[in-house]
Amino acid sequence: MNKSLWFGLMGSILLLLTIVFGPTVAPFTMDEVHPFKKIPQADGSIKIEAAPQAADTLNKLGTDQNGRDILSKLLRGARVTITFAVGVALVRTLIGLPLAYLGASFPRTVGWLNEKLSMAFTTVPSVLIVFLVVIVFIFTDAIKPIQILFLMSVLIALVGLFPTAYVIQGKMEALMKSPFMEGQKAIGTGRWRVLRKHLLPHLSTFLMVLLVSEIAQTLWLAGQLGVLSVFLGGSMLEQGSPVAMRYPEEWAGSIGYSINAFRSYPMVVLWPVFALSFAILSFNLLADGIRKHHERKWGISL
């Protein structure tokens, strides 16, 4: 039994259901806050408790330091965080594919450039590159949150584009050295026909594994940025107040945003950590399961 595939599939399906139905079933919106709660005491008095608050009948997982319901944040935040990661992974894979083919076809020029740019972007930590660039515009009010989210997705996609392209290029180069591919070259088959009719069918499973792995890597990078208080969609600065999130439900940012409340209520940090970790684990297991299924079925290592 391919346990990685089954657990990865179940986790991914659960995440998909959360993305689709999470905002609908969430008990509260992000505008509904409970900064103070009245708690009846045994002697008949009323105790006023400030947020963050522990779980109770109203807030099943408690509230964050602003009084927002944590369960609602998790259910609503999946749509922002995971959709962002999927979009970045798709851009990397779809643009990296033609770059990889050009690199495999022209190894001395495009291939060399792919290799050097891949080395450059893997030598410097991705989180550092993204942090130094996005810090310029994440606090501005001149750009809408959705536009900041788009700019961040483009930047993060570009940071991982050439390493992704170079990985695909290496796989293509190995396939293009096979006797069959050499025969296609000998009879004058066009480059794009070779890609469409021969390379892509052989690379389909490999590309699927790569895409799912890229989703997990993007989520991991988003988590690191969140710890550094770089939030997806940007941040808001208000005089006399801490940095605020434009998307308060976003999982990765919730980790860094709530870190100061860890001592008073650790779960305000741990719940988004659990959610993000579950997503990363699910996608990694899914990628590993697809790879194992392919190897068992065809006896060929990816």
Q: Which residues have C-beta within 8 Å of that of residue 7, sequence separation ≥ 6?
A: 282, 285, 289
Structural domains of the chain, count: 1
| CB of 137 closer than 8 Å to CB of 143 | yes
Q: Could you give the CA distance from residue 302 to residue 296 in angstroms, rounded to a whole number?
A: 11
Q: What is the pLDDT, as a whole number, of residue 137?
A: 81
Q: How far apart are CA 93 and CA 220, in angstroms?
A: 17
Return d(Cα 261, Cα 51) in angstroms, integer: 9
Of how many residues is the chain composed?
302
In a domain, 43, yes or no: no
- 53: three-class secondary structure by DSSP: coil
pLDDT score recorded for residue 183: 72
Sorted by sequence, the CB contacts under 8 Å of residue 250 that are 6+ apart come out as: 77, 80, 81, 226, 231, 232, 233
Q: Is 30 inside a domain boundary?
A: no
Residue 33 inside a domain? The answer is no
Q: Which residue has the higher pLDDT, 277 or 177?
A: 277
Tokens of 290: 């697809």
Residue 19 lies in a domain: no
Predicted local distance difference test score (pLDDT) of residue 239: 52
Task: Please report which confidence band the pLDDT of residue 121 belongs to, taking 50, 70 and 90 as the band edges.
Answer: very high
Q: Identify the CATH number of the domain in which residue 202 sits.
A: 1.10.3720
Average pLDDT over residues 103-109: 92
Q: What is the pLDDT of residue 215?
A: 98
- The pLDDT assigned to 112 comes to 96
pLDDT over threshold 60, residue 260: yes
Q: Is residue 241 assigned to a domain? A: yes
pLDDT at 236 over 90: no
Mean pLDDT of all residues in 108-126: 93
CA distances from 86 to 6, 261, 284, 298 (A): 20, 30, 13, 28
Report residue 43's pLDDT band, with 50, 70 and 90 as the boundaries: confident
The confidence score (pLDDT) of residue 241 equals 52
Interval 282-296: pLDDT, tens: 999 999 999 999 888
For the chain, give the mean pLDDT: 89
The boundaries of the domain holding residue 247 are: 3-11+78-298
Least confident range of 119-123, 134-138, 229-233 = 134-138
How many angstroms separate the CA atoms of 240 and 245, rounded? 15
- 292 burial (CB, 10 Å; 0-12 / 13-18 / 19+) is middle
Given a cut of 90, whether residue 152 has pLDDT beyond it is yes
List, for residues 154-188, the tens digit of each pLDDT value: 999 999 999 999 999 999 988 888 776 667 676 76
Q: Which residue in this structure is represented by tokens 């922002």?
A: 80
pLDDT at 196: 75
Q: Examine the pLDDT at 238 and tell me if it is beyond 60.
A: no
The pLDDT of residue 242:
59
pLDDT for residue 264: 81
> Is 176 among the domain residues?
yes
pLDDT reported for residue 86: 97
Residue 181 lies inside a defined structural domain of this protein: yes
Instruction: Confirm whether 141 is domain-assigned.
Output: yes
Instruction: Please state, in angstroms and rounded to a whole number, the distance separating the CA atoms of residues 179 and 23.
Output: 53
